[in-house]
Structure 1
Amino acid sequence: MSSIKARRATDEATRKLVESSQMTAQTNNGLKYMSLVILIAQTTAIVLILRFTRTQKSEGPRYLSSTAVVSAEIVKLFTCIFVLFVNSRWRWSTFASEIYRDCFADIKETLKIAVPAVLYVVQNNLLFLALSMLDAATYQVTYQLKILTTAFFSVSMLSKKLNPLKWIALVLLTGGVALVQLPSGNATNKTETGGSDRLIGLLAVLAACFSSGFAGVYFEKILKTSNVTLWMRNLQLAFFSIFGGFFMCWLYDSEAIATNGFFQGYNNIIWVVVLLQAYGGLIIALVVKYADNILKGFAVSLSIIISSFISWAFMGDFTPSLAFALGAFVVILSTFLYGYEPKKPALMHHA
């Protein structure tokens, strides 16, 4: 009887363990696809809304992109402070000691964060400039060159090894972006000013890609050589970015701010842009945690397609050409190839 009871108890424990693992798998799948949908929505919305705000006609002064970047970093800073305070179980002493330990105990280590922080500020200002000059579809496809720059800096700074498939993907990516830049059939109707605006936009995207690649790899290197939490690193990034952002405000828009104020031209849509800009990095962190590279490739691909369609159908500033369609397809394909990780063969265990 005791053996039968023991077997029943074992079977019951096994059943509960299987049910628990199934529930965990379902929860992870739910979080995976939810984070995917959020990423697609955020990536598409930030591009289209930002493009709309940079091209819409306004009676008063237009909002300043430099102030929008600073506002986004301030929102991010207070969000990180709130999360860290919650993680400290609302205890001020625990929160303060964590801040001191991770930010002030080793000030040289903390100051390293200023490098990617300033680069991210420059990058965000360049993206505002690019979306003032380029349609959303061309911008989004071209911005995928950050994969190429990130790979370059990963190889040179982190000594990463890329397999042949990734090198093929990078070559395809470069060719696809080049195809997208080919003039369409109605290029002759463009004015000389429009052509120069497009060139400025493309140069801004390229500079942002290099800034993104270097800053991302530098930040990854810092994360791998320290035990500081990601939320604390994001707080440090936001802190230094605010100073870099205010410097950009003073450098480029000091007269306009003195005349019409820091928040000139702001409305509800501009605040949506600020929030999307602030929480974009946190959303990407969520996707990295719960989604794999293939799903991220799907997110990028769907975002490009949706942005292109809306830009063509509703915004009237984009006319797709055969070269653009082919280039976008090649870029999407290269994104999947670069993110693909072949499964390692299972090791055979011999008795």
Structure 2
Amino acid sequence: MCALFASRDKRKRSTDSCSETHNEYVIRNVSLFLLLTFLTTLTDVLINQSRKGNVNLEENYDAAVMVFLVEFSKLVLNFVLLCGCQNSFTKAVQILKYEVFERPSETFKCSVPAFIYVIQNNLSYLALAYLDPGTFEITLQIKLLTTALLMRILLDKRLNAYQWLSLCILLFGVCIVESNELGWFKIEDNSRNNLRRSIKTEDANTGTVKSWNFMCGLVATIAMTFMSALAGVYFEKLLKDEKGPNDLNDQSPNVTHKPPSVHGVSMLWVKNIQMFLFSVPIALISWLFKNNQNIAQKNFLHGFDALAWSVVASGCVLGLTTSLTLKYLNNIYKNFASSFSIVLASLSTMLVAGKEYGPMFFIGGCLVFGSLWTYHRSGRPFSNQSKAHKENTSSKTRTSPPISAV
């Protein structure tokens, strides 16, 4: 894997034709997108099956322990990949020593997504306390639009009208799929009235409708969509920042020696490690707070079977693939893959468990898949066409000398 993505930097300095380089970009990025979609679907299905395997909820594993193990496995895997890219354990340690301790400002930049995810998790608990799961899942899909908005602000990623239209189609299609999954299109009149009364209950004393709790849950969910988009876009900005340890403008006062050379995909593993150095302790502290009274009574790995460990493995590889997607594609394609996984996971449930879906589900699925085609046709798909990339390409074109005949 290191050789596959590291070769991208070598090809920048090669004399291959532009068409060959573009084709390699397309093959790599399409492969990343398909792999991300598959892993997201697989992880969702494994989590669903691992939690349903035990009828007794007390026999299930602790979700906080699962989060900790996934984050810790990501940390270990990224360190192994960094050692593989450098072909040396000592060089990898030297790189991390420099990046983490001698450039603390860069390290703390990677802590921002970790803390944002903590706020996002707390908002999810607040939202689910006041909203029913269906309303929560539907409202959460607003992140498809908030992500594009924050990409415009932080990354100067401009979308044309057709691309915005494709995102709206995607949002509408996912909402239809989620609604059909929850059975909203099959609710009878009496059941619908009961659902409304569960969201808005009447006060027995005053006879007025208590909508305050519903509004609090709705605001928390919308804030959660912005937090989710902000964490993803901010981390994408860090991953696409080509500033390395050998930059001339790096005048850190803590530097006591010449830093080791690290560029390209190795810097991706370094950024991941810097973030996981914060996310792993946060996950462990979350577990301690959640089980502060039952730590001595309950085994840390209680409920972990082969299926649960497969969730850890799948989640670890999914996190790695997500980082590669953010570096070589962007958050919008990550959202497309996530939306595709919702449809594919539902189809797998239909094939395996024999669950029946109405025609609205297939209409929503067609809208989800069709939105990618709209986005594909309205821009330059699966190619790294950032503003900096275009400027570098144009500057090389202007400064390159004419080819003389030999």
Q: TM-score with structure 1 length normalisation?
A: 0.71
Equivalence for 2:109: 112
Show the counterpart of 1:326.
363
Q: Answer yes or no: is the 8 Å Cα contact 2:148–2:332 preserved in 1.
A: no
Match in the other structure for 2:79: 81
- Structure 1 position 311 matched with structure 2 position 356: no
Query: Structure 2: how far apart are the matches of 1:315 and 1:206?
Result: 33
Match of 2:60 in 1: 62
Aligned length: 316
- Aligned residue for 1:10? none
More helix by share: 1
* Further displaced range: 154-163 or 290-299: 290-299
The alignment status of 1:185 with 2:186, answered yes or no, reads yes
1:223 alignment partner in structure 2: 239
Give 5+ residue unaligned stretches, structure 2. Answer: 1-14, 200-213, 245-266, 386-393, 395-406
- 1:144, 1:331 within 8 Å by CA — same for their partners in 2? no
Query: What is the deviation of 1:126?
Result: 8.7
Does the CA-based 8 Å contact 1:173-1:330 persist in structure 2?
A: yes
Shift of 1:87: 2.3
CA apart distance, 1:204: 9.3
Q: Distance in 2 between matches of 1:32 and 1:106?
A: 31
Question: For the structure 1 residues 158 and 33, does the alpha-carbon distance in structure 2 shift closer, same or farther, using more than 3 Å as the test?
Answer: closer
The amino acid across from 1:332 in the alignment is F
Residue type at the aligned position of 1:174: L
Change over 3 Å in CA distance of 1:336–1:204 after alignment to 2:
farther
Preserved CA contact (<8 Å) 1:294 1:336: no
Q: Secondary structure at the residue paired with 2:54? A: coil
In 1, the alpha carbon distance for the partners of 2:101 and 2:329 equals 34
Aligned residue for 1:100? 97
One-letter amino acid of the structure 2 residue matched with residue 49 of structure 1: L
Contact 1:294–1:339 at 8 Å: present in 2 too? no
1:312 positional shift: 2.8
Aligned match for 1:214, one of 192, 208, 230: 230
CA distance in 1, matches of 2:238, 2:29: 27
How far has the Cα of 1:235 moved from its partner? Answer: 0.7
Describe the superposition over 1:77-105 as per-residue Cα deviations: whole angstroms up to 9, x where unpaired: 1111112122222251x223211221111
Per-residue CA distance 1:15-49 (angstroms, 9 max, x = gap): xx99xx98x99988876676555334312211111
Letter in 2 for 1:185: K
Displacement of 1:281 after TM fit?
2.3
- 2:78 alignment partner AA: C
Matched, 1:233 2:271: yes
Q: Secondary structure at the match of 1:326?
A: helix
How far apart are 1:108 and its partner, in Å? 2.0
Offset, 1:308: 1.6
Is residue 166–residue 371 contact of structure 2 (8 Å, CA) maintained in 1? yes
Checking the alignment, whether the CA contact within 8 Å between 2:113 and 2:234 is kept in structure 1 is yes
Pair 323,254 (structure 1): closer, same or farther in 2 beyond 3 Å: farther
Deviations 1:285-309 (A, max 9, x none): 4557788999989966764443122
TM-score calculated relative to the size of structure 2: 0.62
For 2:168, the equivalent position in structure 1 comes to 171
One-letter amino acid matched to 2:144: I
Match status 1:43 vs 2:40: yes
**Cα–Cα, structure 1 residues 218 and 36, in superposed 2: closer, same or farther, change >3 Å?**
closer
Per-residue Cα deviation, 1:203-253 (whole angstroms, up to 9, x for no partner)? 998666433311111112233445241110011111111011112212333
Contact kept? 1:36, 1:287, Cα under 8 Å: yes
What's the CA shift string for 1:285-342, capped at 9, x where partnerless? 45577889999899667644431222234346x6423333323322332233335453
Matches within 5 A, 1:275-314: 275-286=313-324, 303-314=341-352
Shift of 1:63: 0.7
1:145 and 1:177 in contact (8 A); partners too: no
The equivalent of 1:253 in structure 2 is 291
Q: Summarize the Cα distance change of 1:335–1:300 in structure 2 as closer, same or farther, 3 Å threshold.
A: farther
Does the Cα contact within 8 Å between 2:146 and 2:226 map onto a contact in 1?
Answer: yes
Match of 2:397 in 1: none
Q: 1:275 to 1:265 in 2, by over 3 A?
A: same
Distance 1:166 1:214, change over 3 A: same
Query: Could you say if the C-alpha distance between residues 309 and 283 of structure 1 is closer, same or farther in structure 2, counting changes exceeding 3 Å?
Result: same
Conserved 8 A contact 2:141-2:175: no
**Contact 1:64 1:253 (C-alpha < 8 Å) held by counterparts:** no
Q: Percent identity?
A: 28
Matched, 1:338 2:375: yes
1:271 aligns with 2:309: yes
CA distance in 1, matches of 2:279, 2:335: 29
